[in-house]
């Protein structure tokens, strides 16, 4: 029993160290200026995370309770300062993304679950 408890504690420490990056903002390829996604430690209370953002003059746009995160609007200098908060796991720029307008490789055979071959163009996703 003690071995399991020690293993769990070591895993928690390792995971928190993997996310803790004071002074580092994870950059997006096409950032949205002044918008960030902040992930907090799961044991950091939700009210405290909102208070940390408010105290740093940021604005909470959306809360993501399942991942202990906030989508916020603030300056880069304030976001950088939040990376030093012990309750913050990561700060990441919000970014733009695009969808492909064409599909390539639709005639590429794929193996089905029964060992047969299914063509990607035969998935029934065509519009009628």
28 CA to centre of own chain: 11
Q: For the whole model, what pTM was predicted?
A: 0.62
Confidence of residue 39 (pLDDT cuts 50, 70, 90): very high
Write down the pLDDT at residue 80. Answer: 93
**Whole-number Å distance between alpha carbons of 19 and 47:** 21
pLDDT tens, position by position, 17-29: 445 578 899 999 9
| Residues 77, 7 contacting (CB under 8 angstroms) | no
Q: Which structural domains are found in the chain, ordered by start? A: 33-96 (3.30.70.80)
């Amino acid at each position: 029993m003690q071995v399991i408890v020690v293993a769990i504690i070591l895993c928690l420490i390792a995971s928190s160290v993997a996310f803790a990056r004071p002074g580092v903002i994870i950059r997006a390829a096409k950032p949205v200026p002044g918008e960030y996604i902040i992930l907090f430690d799961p044991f950091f209370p939700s009210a405290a995370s909102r208070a940390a953002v408010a105290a740093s003059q940021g604005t909470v746009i959306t809360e993501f309770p399942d991942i202990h995160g906030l989508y916020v609007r603030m300056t880069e200098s304030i976001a950088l300062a939040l990376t030093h908060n012990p309750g913050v796991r990561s700060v990441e720029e919000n970014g733009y993304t695009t969808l492909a307008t064409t599909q390539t490789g639709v005639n590429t055979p794929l193996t089905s679950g029964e060992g047969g071959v299914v063509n990607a163009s035969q998935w029934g996703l065509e519009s009628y």
